[in-house]
Structure 1
Amino acid sequence: MLIISLALTCSINKTETCSEAYNKFVACFNKSKSEESELVFCRRFQYYVKHGGLIQPMMDTEIPSQLKKLKVITKASTEVDCQEYYCYASNVLKDLTHIYESVDLREAGLSNPAQDQGNCSSCWVFTMTSLMENSIKLQQFDSSQQFWAMSRDLSEQFILSNTFGPEYCGESDLMVGFDYFNKNIETVEIRANFVYNPSYKFYNDSFAKNISLKPKIDKSLYLKPFQTFQVIQDDTQTTPVIGIHTDEEDIFTSSTIWTIKSYLSRGIVIGGAMQMSNKNMNHILTLDGSIVQNIACDMSQNPIKNHQVTIIGYGRKNGQEVWIIKNSYGQYWGGSGHIFVPIGKNSMCSEMYAIAIIPLTYDLSSTDPYFNIGSHTRGNYYDLDRDDGDLIDSDNDAWILAIEIMIPIFGVGTIGGVFVFTFKKKQYKNVNDPKNQPEELENEPEKEPENDETVSSVLE
C-alpha cells in the first residue's frame, strides 16, 4: 500500500500547472530546486503535455550525448567509408567582394522558427533540417513543384526514423547524416505528415526492425533540395556537404569568417557545432538570448564540440560583433531558441566547425548577395543592432588591420611627429531600397509569403 500511495503522490499529469508539477518532481526525485532548473523543467513539461513521455528523465538527460567522433583521412583513398570518416567537398562558391553589414536570415524569411529535439540526441537531425528548409526557401521551382514553394516545414522525425547509421536517438554528425540521406533516402517530407515524437512506440519499433517510414507526399513531389559534388577524400563518391571549416584543432581564421559571412549574405545558412556540456549545465540551458554569451571553450573536454546548431546571421549586438546561433532546444531557450556569441572569441567552441549545402537550383557562378535580406529596422529585445542594410567592401578588413598595426609602430618610433591615418569605409546604397536595386535584380520575383504554419516539435 505504501508503494501504491507513493506512486500516486508522485504521479504527474497534464492538468497540473508547471509549478505544481515541478514541486512534485523535486520532492519525489530528490532534485535540487532553483529558478534555472525550474525553467528547464517547464520547457520539458510543455513537451510532455503535448506529446506524452516520462517525467523522470526530464532533468536526468539534459546533458547532450557526445557527437559521433569521425576519423580524419590522412591520405587519398578510393574506398572511404563516409559513415566513419569526414567526407566533404571543397568550397564551390567564391567569396563575395561585398557583403551586408549584418544579416539575420529570420528577417529575410529564410530561417524557420527553432524547434525542440526533446529527450533525444538528435541535434544533427534538426540542423540538417534547418539547412534543407533554408535550401528549399532559396529554390526556383517549376510549375510541377509549386508545392515546395509553400510547404517548407520539414519533418525531423522522417529523417531520424530513416537514418539507420547511428542508433535511434543516438549520436551522429551532419556529415554522416547528409551522406546517408544522399545515398539512401529518396526525399524530404513535410512536418505535418510525420510530427516529431521520438518516444512514439511505432517509430521505435519500426527503427528496431530496420523498417523505413514511407513518404506520404506524392512521388512527383520527391525532393532532395541540394546539389552534390565530388568528395575530396574519394573521387568515386559525391556529397552535398561543403566543408568550410572541418579542422577540429583550429578556430575560424579571418578568411573563414569572411567566407561564412559570404554564405550568409547569399542567404545560405551554416551548419555549426558548439560545446553544451559545461559543468554548469543549468546556466547553459537557460541562457539569456538578449545578451552576448562569451563562455570559454573548455579544450580539456573530448570531444570539444558535442552539439550541432545552425548559424543564421551575423552583425552587432550591443555594439559587439556576433554570430546568431539557432539551437534545437525550443522556443523557450535563449531568445526564441537563438543566442548571440561574439565573433573571434570561440565562445562555447562555436568557431571550430562549419559546413553548408548548396540549394539545388543555385547558380554557382553568382557573385551577388541575396537581393532582399531584410529591412534591418530592429529594436526588439532579441534583435541585432539596427543598421542601414548597406554592403561593405572586403578591402576594408585589410585597411583596418594595417591601421591597427602601423599606428602603434609609428607612434613609438617617431618623436615630435603625428601620423594620422584616416579612411572612409566604402559603403553602398541600401540594396533593399527599390530605387537602388541593381539592374539585374529589378525583375526578380517577389519573395513568396512564408507558410506560418508551424508544428511544435521537440533535445538532447
Structure 2
Amino acid sequence: MFGLIISLQLNCNITLDEGCDISYTKYSSCYNKQISQESKEIFCESLKQLFILVKHCETCDITSMMDIKQNFGLVSLPTRKQAGNSITNCKNKLTCNRINPLDTISQIYESVDLMEAGLVNTPRSQGKCGSCWAFATTAALENAMLHDKSYYTGSIWDINNYDLAELYLLMNSQHSSYCKGGNFITAINEYDLGSTLNTIELETNFPYSSWTTEQIKFGVSKYTPKIQVSDYTLPYKQYKVSDGLVSTDTGLIYIYLDSYNTFTTKARKEIKSYLSRGIVVVGTMAAGFSNSFSFYNGRSWTGEACPCSNYPEGTSNYVNCIQKYMDHQITFVGYGKKNGIDVWVIRNSWGSGWGAGGNFYVPIGSNSFCIETTALTVIPKYYDKNAGVYSNIGSHSRGGSTQLDSDTAQLISNDGAYTGMPNKLSPWAIVLIVIGSIAGAALLVSTICWCVKHKREQPQQQPNVVQTVPAVQQRHDNGGRTL
C-alpha cells in the first residue's frame, strides 16, 4: 500500500517520490508561474502538506494556489441579530437593500452552469491580494451585462467582451480596505451612491495582476475613469427603498442572510430560480479553516463541516465562531448533480486552473464551509420579471471529470428537495466496516451450515415447532426446501 502512495502521480506530472526542486520546476512551467525564492518556499511547504493529505483526501491534488499565501479578503457582514429580519439600514446608506422582488419559478432546469452557458466570464485569480469581494462583485456586474447582451451590442462593453475591472473597484471603494478586505453589500451600495464609484470600468483600462496590487498597496489613490462620461454604466436595476427615516435607491437584492441558521427550503428555491433565470447569486464561506480546500482537484464535490458546528445553532458561541471564520466571498453560478449528489456550482477567484475550471461543487443542504448562510444579488438592468427561465442554459453537454453529471435538460419541479450528502468515512473506518462485514458474513454462513446439518441429523418429530411457526412448515411442505 505504501508503494502505491509513493508512486502516485499528481497534476503537472509531479510524483510524491521526487524532490521539491524538480516539483517546483514542473509546477512553474505547468501554470506559467514567475519563478522566485519566496514562491518556491511557499510551494515546498504546501507540497509537504499535500503529501500528508493525498493519502486520505481523494479530492486533493496539485493546484495553481500552492505558491500563494492565502489572503481571502472578506470583512464582516451585518448579522440578522444586528439588523432585524433584513439588512436594510438606509441611514448610513451602506447596507440598504431590497427584499427579493421576484417570484419563485415553479419549473426550473434540472441543472444549470452559467459559466458553461456564457453568462459569466472565465474566473481570474485574485493572487496575493485579499480582493475576493471585488471579484465576486465584478462577477455579478459582468453577469448582468452578459444577461442583457442585446442592449449593449456595438458598445465599448461588447467590443471588450464585457470584461470589467476589479482593480478599479478596489482602488475606488472608500469603505473597503483594499487588499485587506471588503464585501459585496458595501460595494453595491457605493455604486448606488455614485461618489467615487459612479460607473463600472474596463479591464483593459485597469488591468489586474498581483504585481499591480503589490506595487500600489502602500500608496492607494483613487482612479479617474478612462471611459467617456457618455459610457458611464451601472448595469443593474435600482429600487426605491426606505427604512422609515431615509429613502434611497438601491440595487442590492437580499435573498438570505442569517448567521444563526442555514438556507431554508424557501431560500434554496429562490436561489435556484435566480440561477435558472441566468442570474448569479453572491455568497460567503469559511475557506481558511480547511487544510485541504486550496488543493481541491475539481473532479468530485468537496465539503467540510462548518467550524464549531458542535455548538447549538442560535447560541452566541456558535454565531461568534462562524463569524470568526467567514473569510471568503464567492458566487453561486449553478446547481445540479455531481457524482449523483445534488450540489451548488460555486465560482471562485483563484483562476481557471484551480478546481473545475475555476469553480467547485458543494453538496446542497450540507452547509459545507458555512456556504449556506448568505445569498445576495443584483438584477440585470433590462430584466423582464415575467420572463421565466433563461433560454438554453440547461441543455449543455455534461458528464466530464470536471463537469456536472449529464442530464435530460428537462424542466423539473422547484420543490427545494435535494439528495442527502453521503457521510465520508476515514480509511480506518472503511477497513473496519469491510472486516466486520466479512466476519459477519462468515459467521452467518457458518451458522446456516450448522443449522442445516443439525436439522438433517434430528428426527423430524417436533410438533411444537410446526404449531408455533405454521408459515415455515407450509413453505417446507410446498417448496420442498429445508430452511
- With structure 2 as the length reference, what TM-score do the two structures score? 0.68
Q: Where do 5+ consecutive residues of structure 1 fail to align? A: 1-11, 46-57, 401-460
1:329 is paired with a residue whose SS is: coil
Displacement after TM superposition at 1:182 (Å): 1.9
C-alpha separation in 2, matches of 1:205 and 1:377: 43
C-alpha separation in 2, matches of 1:372 and 1:228: 27
Q: Deviations over 1:154-202 (max 9, x none)?
A: 1111111111212221221110111112212221111111110365389
- With structure 1 as the length reference, what TM-score do the two structures score? 0.71
- After superposition, the CA RMSD in angstroms is 3.5
Q: Deviations over 1:198-249 (max 9, x none)?
A: 65389727963xx421222233222110111234646512221111001221
1:308 to 306, 329, 332: 329
Tell whether 2:93 aligns with 1:96. Answer: no
Displacement after TM superposition at 1:302 (Å): 3.2
Displacement after TM superposition at 1:63 (Å): 4.7
2:176 is paired with a residue whose SS is: coil
2:333 is paired with a residue whose SS is: strand
TM-aligned CA distance change 1:41 to 1:216, over 3 Å: farther
2:369 is paired with a residue whose SS is: helix
2:379 to 358, 361, 369: 358
Larger radius of gyration: 2
Query: Would you say the 8 A contact 2:72–2:327 is kept in 1?
Result: yes
C-alpha separation in 1, matches of 2:387 and 2:42: 60
C-alpha separation in 2, matches of 1:241 and 1:218: 26
TM-aligned CA distance change 1:295 to 1:141, over 3 Å: same
TM-aligned CA distance change 1:378 to 1:328, over 3 Å: same
Query: Would you say the 8 A contact 1:88–1:232 is kept in 2?
Result: no
Query: Would you say the 8 A contact 1:22–1:41 is kept in 2?
Result: no
Q: Deviations over 1:26-76 (max 9, x none)?
A: 66999575273999998368xxxxxxxxxxxx55x4153552343632499
> 2:165 — aligned with what?
155
1:297 to 295, 306, 322: 306
> 1:107 — aligned with what?
116
C-alpha separation in 2, matches of 1:201 and 1:327: 19
Query: Would you say the 8 A contact 1:309–1:326 is kept in 2?
Result: yes
Q: Deviations over 1:357-395 (max 9, x none)?
A: 00011112x151001215332122111111111111346
The amino acid of 1:156's aligned partner reads E
> 2:390 — aligned with what?
370
1:302 is paired with a residue whose SS is: helix
1:68 to 72, 76, 101: 76
C-alpha separation in 1, matches of 2:367 and 2:85: 29
How many equivalent pairs are there? 367
Query: Would you say the 8 A contact 1:376–1:388 is kept in 2?
Result: no
Displacement after TM superposition at 1:255 (Å): 1.1
Q: Deviations over 1:68-100 (max 9, x none)?
A: 3436324999862244xx432111111112111
> 2:48 — aligned with what?
34
The amino acid of 1:383's aligned partner reads Q
Query: Would you say the 8 A contact 1:161–1:203 is kept in 2?
Result: no
C-alpha separation in 2, matches of 1:40 and 1:158: 34
Q: How does 1:266-281 map to 2 (within 5 A)?
A: 266-280=277-291
The amino acid of 1:68's aligned partner reads S
TM-aligned CA distance change 1:24 to 1:118, over 3 Å: closer
TM-aligned CA distance change 1:132 to 1:66, over 3 Å: closer
Q: Where do 5+ consecutive residues of structure 2 fail to align? A: 1-20, 30-34, 53-59, 309-320, 420-483
The amino acid of 1:116's aligned partner reads S
TM-aligned CA distance change 1:161 to 1:100, over 3 Å: same
TM-aligned CA distance change 1:374 to 1:165, over 3 Å: same
- Larger helix proportion of the pair: 2
Query: Would you say the 8 A contact 1:206–1:212 is kept in 2?
Result: no
The amino acid of 2:240's aligned partner reads Q
Tell whether 2:239 aligns with 1:229. Answer: yes
Q: Quick one: higher RCO (CA 8 Å, sep 6+), 1 or 2?
A: 1
Query: Would you say the 8 A contact 2:322–2:370 is kept in 1?
Result: no
Displacement after TM superposition at 1:139 (Å): 1.3
The amino acid of 1:204's aligned partner reads I
C-alpha separation in 1, matches of 2:126 and 2:261: 29
C-alpha separation in 2, matches of 1:222 and 1:143: 13
TM-aligned CA distance change 1:392 to 1:25, over 3 Å: closer
C-alpha separation in 1, matches of 2:42 and 2:158: 49
2:183 to 158, 173, 184: 173
